[in-house]
Chain A
């Protein structure tokens, strides 16, 4: 297993003269899932994109560091709400996209293992257009795992799925990404309560750490403490917005 570092983001961001988020310090614990929960427009996606080294349109003042002192953006894998599968490429080709883009020879055994793990073996040669939404997100997850990076950034990857498929994907992702430093940006308190080993609520004013449930993640959908946490998170979100 690759060694995943702690990540610390400290700083503030502004778009023009308007503050996007006030100075904050967010720590992602090594090998753990941190769920960043917040409403629209509070800058949670901006934080994720800053870590990934992507365009944000905002001016960030501060720094993003890994506990092992090595570069961050070269060690991330990224998964978004849109599966970002190339429609002209097969499932197998999509999974190995990273290697092809870097001009490397993809590890085909690993590819096949991952595709099998995602229960997609029968769909290897299909185009994304022939798959369901859940299958497409599984391909995207396989592509993310294929990158084999210690830091994984998930930007609401399950929010467009129906409730049952979403719960399935949450289980699958929690298992597959074990041991990596994961940042999950979400607006769904239920998702944060199920998956977060550390949960942080973000608002314009700053971030508030919250107590995650005691059960190990992924928690059962009907676990009482998880449901209570979900309620508490939703209440907090509403208060922050008010």
Chain B
């Protein structure tokens, strides 16, 4: 049923796309139709696969590092008032900066290779992970804390036995959001400076007016992001479900 509705939605989207192409009669270097994009995708499948692999590695490493960093930061923030005073404003401030503007800097610092893209993905998901987990940690139902208090629990024990498990569903929703953001971060990094990856391929295809290839790369990225989201969703179902 779920699969069927996803299929129906895809067919519907393709129909609209094809409809616009047929009705407007736009040249294919402006807006290629779905059939042409599919053909181009098939012809270039090995090139696309190669670049997808590069982006995938960046995204997965970035996702893992960003999640670990976010979890550690949230725990520190929840644990210490000093950390909240010192770190929290900085966290919010970094979110006010356009990440795009930082991309050239990261390339300057970390080079053209893998790590500048990983750093970009980390930067983009760090905040949603940190803030969702931190929110969860600070919103422990007060009744649990009262009970723990009458049981003479140490703050550390309360954190591990009550606050962290109670906050896991929040962390799960942060991770699901991050799964969609991380590929965007990696691609921004690739746009600014790289010689491989889907972002690079898109830029290259666009520059050569190969709009069909650009579309093929973009759709591949979209499908990859959705897959990642589904995998993370499945992986976090347990911590989100068991704790509710």
Contacts and interface: CB of A to CB of B under 8 A. Distances in A.
B149 A102 contact: no
B144 A77 contact: no
Interface in B146-168: 146-154, 157-158, 161-162, 165-166, 168
B150 A80 contact: no
B98 interface: no
B151 A102 contact: yes
Contact of B165 (A52, A74, A88, A101): A88
Interface centre among A49, A74, A102 (most CB of B within 10 A): A102
A16 B141 CA distance: 25
B150 A97 contact: no
Interface in A30-84: 49, 52-55, 73-74, 76-78, 80, 82, 84
A86 B162 contact: yes
A88 B243 CA distance: 4
Contacts of B242: 88, 127
B161 to A, nearest CB: 6
Interface of A: 49, 52-55, 73-74, 76-78, 80, 82, 84, 86-89, 97-98, 100-103, 127, 129, 147, 153
Interface string B19-32: 00000000000000
A53 B149 contact: yes
Contacts of B149: 52-54
Given A80-B143, A86-B162, A86-B165, A101 B148 contact: yes
B164 to A, nearest CB: 10
12 contacts: A52-B149, A54-B149, A78-B150, A84-B147, A86-B166, A88-B166, A88-B243, A101-B152, A101-B154, A102-B154, A103-B154, A103-B157
B208 interface: no
Contacts of B148: 101
A24 B152 CA distance: 28
